[in-house]
Amino acid sequence: IFFLSCISTLPVLLLLLVSTPLTSGAQLPNQGQDKDLPIATNGEPFPWGRMRLPTTVFPLHYDLTIHPNLTTLDFTGVVRIQLDVREDTSAIILHAKHMQISNVLLLAPEGVRPLRLLEYPRFHQLGLLSDSVLIKGRKYEVQLEFAANLSDSFHGFYKSSYRTSSGEVRVLASTQFEATFARGAFPCFDEPAFKANFTIQIIREPRHIAISNMPKLKTVELPGGLLEDHFDTTVKMSTYLVAYIVSDFLSVSRTTQHGVKISIYAVPEKIDQTAFALDAAVKLLDFYDDYFDIPYPLPKQDLAAIPDFQSGAMENWGLTTYRETGLLFDPDKSSASDKLGITKVIAHELAHQWFGNLVTMEWWNDLWLNEGFAKFMEFISLDITYPELHVDDFFLEKCFEAMEVDSLSSSHPVSTPVENPTQIQEMFDDVSYDKGACILNMLRDFLTPEAFEIGIIRYLKRYSYQNTVNSHLWESLTNVCSSDDLDEGRMEHKEFCSKRDLDSGASWYSGDELDVKAIMDTWTLQEGFPLVTVEVRGREVRLSQERYLKTDDPSLTEGFLWQIPLTYMTSASNTIHRFLLKTKTDVLYLPEDVDWVKFNVDMSGFYMVHYAGEGWNSIIKVLQHNHTALTSNDRASLIHNVFQLVSIGKVKLDTALELSLYLSRETEIMAVTQGFGELVPLYKLMEKRDMAALENQMKGYIVDLFRGLIDKQEWSDSGSVSERVLRSYLLLFGSVRNYPPCLTKATQLFKQWKDSDGNMSLPVDVTMAVFMIGARTPEGWDFLFEKYRSSLQMSLKSRFKAAMAYSPLQDKLKWCQSLHGEVMKTQDLPGVVVSVSKNPHGYKLGWDFLRANWNTLIKKFDLGSSTISHMVTGVTNQYSTKEMLDEVRSFFGSLTEETGSGMRCIQQAYETIEDNIRWMDNNLPLLQAWLDKHNYCILDK
C-alpha cells in the first residue's frame, strides 16, 4: 500500500512460536488444553486459542467463484481449497469474517463427507472438524459456500460508486485485502506465509466487466442472462494480494518491451485522463524487469482507478488499484506536483510486484521489507526513468517526516512484534515506509550502489515465491562479490566486483570485517534514531551518540547504541570522509586545521548532528557568506537539525533563528521548503492561543525572509518540476499571508476566472493561490463549490477542496465536514478534517467533528489504520495549551479497547501536545526578544 515500545531484540524465531504446531499425532491443534480453549458461537469449545493460525495444514490451491449483486449489494460464492496436511489433525483452522458459511465438505481420497463447523468471531476464525484424522503428508480438499454483504467500508469486497456528468449514480464492487481483509471476502488462510495459487471465476451481468489478477481465459453464459468469467491461475502468492473488480470501466492498453500487456482502467468519462499513467507504467515495469534481473512473472499488469479508495494505491499482483487522484492526469489542468505524485505512486506499486509480491515478509512485524523497499525504489527508479522530475529534491522530506514520529517515546522499532489486526494496521506508518526507505538509502550509500544492487538481486532470486525475515536481507547483502553470485550475475556486476578487488581504495571498509546484520539490527530492532554530537578541538574531533528524543524524562534515552555510518566533509576538502561509529564515544583526527566540518553529507544517514562548542557558529558563518559551499541537501539538513535541537534544549532558539537569516538568499526547493517547515509551525502554535501581536510579528519575519524569492516568481507554468513546485508553494504562502503583490494578483486572477465562469485557462502552478483567496468570500466559496461538484478533473477537484477547507467562513467549514458523501467523497473526509483543523478559523471545528463522529469514523476507516492515525495526530498536533491537552486526554481516555483506546496515535497526540507546551514555555520570551532586536514589526494584518 502507498499511503511504541522498548527495545525488542527477540529473535524472529520467537515471533513465529505463536503458530508452531503441537507434536506429531495431535488430533486437534490445542488437544489437552480444553480448559484454556475459547468458546465458539454455539457454546462448544473452539479447537484453537491463538490469534495466529496453526501450521498443521497449509493451502496449496484455491478454486474461488464469486457472484456479486450490484443491485442488492451482496455477494455469494463457493471456495474449494486444496490442503497439504503437515501434522496429523482433526481440525482445520482458517479465517472468515462477517459471512454466512454453509455446506462445508471434506473431499478426501476415500470420498466426500460433511465437516462440522465452529466459529470464533473474536479472532475471525472457523474450525472445520473431521470425524476422522487427516493424515500427515496426504492431500485433501475442503469446500465451503458463503454469503455476505458488500462492505460499506473501504476494505474487503466493498461497494464503490460514482456520479456521471448527467447525474446518474453507478455502482461497482472492488477489493482491498491488505492487511487482514481477504477473510471478509472468502474463507481463507489469511496470513502472508500461507501462499497458494488461486483460480478465480466471477459471475456478473452483461452490462459489467470483471477483472482480476490474471488474464481472462473465457466467458461462459449462465441461465438467467448472467455471464461467468474464468481467469487463469495465479502464481503462488499471499491472500492479501488477491483482487477482483466488477464495474463498467473502460481501458486503454500497451505492451512493454518485455511483452507484458499494460492496461489502465477508469470510469468511462475519465478514460481520457489515463495516457500519462499508461506511459509511466510501461516505462517503469520495463525498468524494474531489467534492474532486478528477474522477468515480471505475469502476462499482464492492470492499473485501475477506483472512485472510492482509502489509501493511495494497492499492489495486488497483476491488478494494482489506485485512488483516481493517484492515476488520472490531465496535461492541461494537472500540476507539476500531480505529475510527480502519480509517477511516484505507480513506481511504488510496481516495485511491490517484486518486493512484497514475489518475495513477501513472513509476518507483518517485518512489513518494512515490503513498504520501506517500495518507498525507496520510488526514488531509485524515477531518478533513472524520469530524470526531469528531479525526484532527489524530495527524498529528504521523507526522512524528516519519519524523524518526527521516531523522536517520540511512543515510536516503535522498524521490525516490531504485532499480533492482532489493529496492531498490524498500525504498522502502515511513517516508520515502516519512510524510515525504512531512509535506512535502506543509508545502507546503499555505505555499501556503494553497485554492491547494494547485487545484494538485493541476490535476495529476490534466492527467496522468489517465499517468505522472508530481516536476517535474510542482511545475509544477501553480505559478501556480495562471492563466486556463486558472479557465476549467475550480470556483466556489469562482474565488472564491479573485479574492479573492487583490484582497487582497495574503492570502499571504506574491509569486506571481511563487514557485518551488515550487526549494523542494521541496531537500526531495525530498536526504535528511535541517534543524535551525534561533534566537537572540534583543533584537529581532534570528539564524537558521541545518544538517542534523540522529545521528552523531559532523560531515563528514556538510556541504553541505546547504534552502529552509525558517519560521513563528513570539511572546509579544506570536497572529499567525503567515512567512519563507522560503533561506540558511545570516539575521536577522529583531521589531517589539517579547518574552518568547519559538516557531518552526514547530503543527509544520507538517518541521524541528526549537533555541533558543540563553536560548531554552530562556524556553520552559520559559512551559510551567511558562501552558502553554496554546501549542497542544498546539506543546507536543508542543517536547518532541520538546528531547529529540532531547540526542542530538546541542545541549541538556543536565537542560534537557530540566526541560521535562518541566510534563507533570504536561498533558491533551492529542499532548503526553502525546510525553512518554511521549521518556521511556519511556530506561528501555527500561536494561532491556537490569544497572542496575535507575536504571531503576526513571526509571520512578518517569514514573509520578509522570502520576499525576494517570492518577487522573482512569474505567475506562469515555466521551469523544471522543482521550480514549478516551489513557485506554487511560494505564491500560495505569499497570498495566504496577505503579501500585497501576491494578494493583489491572486484577487485579480480569481475575479477574471470567475467572470469567465471558470473557462479562463489559469496557469496550473498558481491555481492554489488563486482559489485560496477566492474562497475567502461567500460568493467565491459558492462558485468554487459548484465547480467542485461538476468537475471530472481529479487534481483540479483536489485544489478546489483544499481551498474551500481553508476558508475563514465558519459556516462553510462546517459543510466541508460531512459524512454523507453525496458531493464530497467520504474517502476525502479525513484530509478535509485535518485541513480544517490547520485553519486558524476552524481548528476547534475539526476537533469537535472528530469527537462527535468517532464511532462512525473508526467503523468506516478501521481501527489502527493510517487514516485514523492521520486524523488523530493531524487534528491535535498544533495544540499547545494545558487546557487543550486536558480536553484531548479526557476524550481519548474515555474510549474502550474496542473503540481504540490502545492505539499508538493517541499516545503520539499526547506527546506532541506536551512537547508543544514545553516549547512555548521555554522559547516564547526568546522569540519575542529576537524579533524585537531585528525590528520585525507586524507586517501581516
| Catalytic residue positions, numbered | 349
Task: Quickly list DSSP for 850-900.
Answer: HHHTHHHHHHHH-TT-HHHHHHHHHHHTT--SHHHHHHHHHHHHT--TTTT
3-state secondary structure of 313: strand
| Phi, psi at 818, each rounded to 5° | -115, 135
* Cβ–Cβ < 8 Å for 523, 547: no
- CA 718 remoteness from chain centre: 31
* Cβ–Cβ < 8 Å for 160, 249: no
Rg (CA), the chain: 29
* Cβ–Cβ < 8 Å for 651, 614: no
CB atoms within 10 A of CB 207: 8
Residue owning grid cell 482491498: 176
Q: Render the burial of 241-264: b for 16+ CB within 10 Å, e for the rest.
A: bbbbbbbebbbeeeebeeebebbb
- List the grid coordinates of 522: 541496531
Distance CA 439, CA 426 (A): 20
* Interacting residues of 128 by C-beta distance below 8 A, sequence separation 6+: 91, 92, 93, 94, 104, 106, 115, 116, 117, 142
| Dihedral angle over CA of 143, 148, 150, 154, nearest 10 | -80
Distance CA 56, CA 27 (A): 10
371 labelled ligand-binding: yes
Distance CA 919, CA 497 (A): 51
For residue 547, give the nearest of 555, 559, 557, 534 by alpha carbon. Answer: 557
Please compute, for residue 482, the number of CA atoms within 13 A of its CA located in the half-sphere on the CB side.
11
404 labelled ligand-binding: no
Bin 465: left if φ > 0, else alpha if -120 < ψ < 50, else beta.
left
* Cβ–Cβ < 8 Å for 515, 501: no
| Dihedral angle over CA of 708, 712, 716, 719, nearest 10 | -110
For residue 237, give the nearest of 85, 464, 1, 473 by alpha carbon. Answer: 464
For residue 265, give the nearest of 225, 300, 226, 311 by alpha carbon. Answer: 300
666 labelled ligand-binding: no
3-state secondary structure of 84: strand
Residue owning grid cell 561533534: 534
Distance CA 121, CA 279 (A): 45
* Cβ–Cβ < 8 Å for 862, 868: yes
Q: Where are the alpha helices (DSSP H) in 322-448?
A: 336-352, 368-385, 395-406, 421-426, 430, 436-447
Distance CA 187, CA 76 (A): 12
Distance CA 238, CA 182 (A): 10
Distance CA 412, CA 430 (A): 11
378 to 366, 383, 848, 863: CA distances (angstroms): 19, 8, 37, 28
- List the grid coordinates of 814: 462546517
Burial class of residue 233, CB neighbours in 10 A (0-12, 13-18, 19+): middle
Return binding residues.
348, 352, 371
Q: Which residues are annotated as a binding site for Zn(2+)?
A: 348, 352, 371
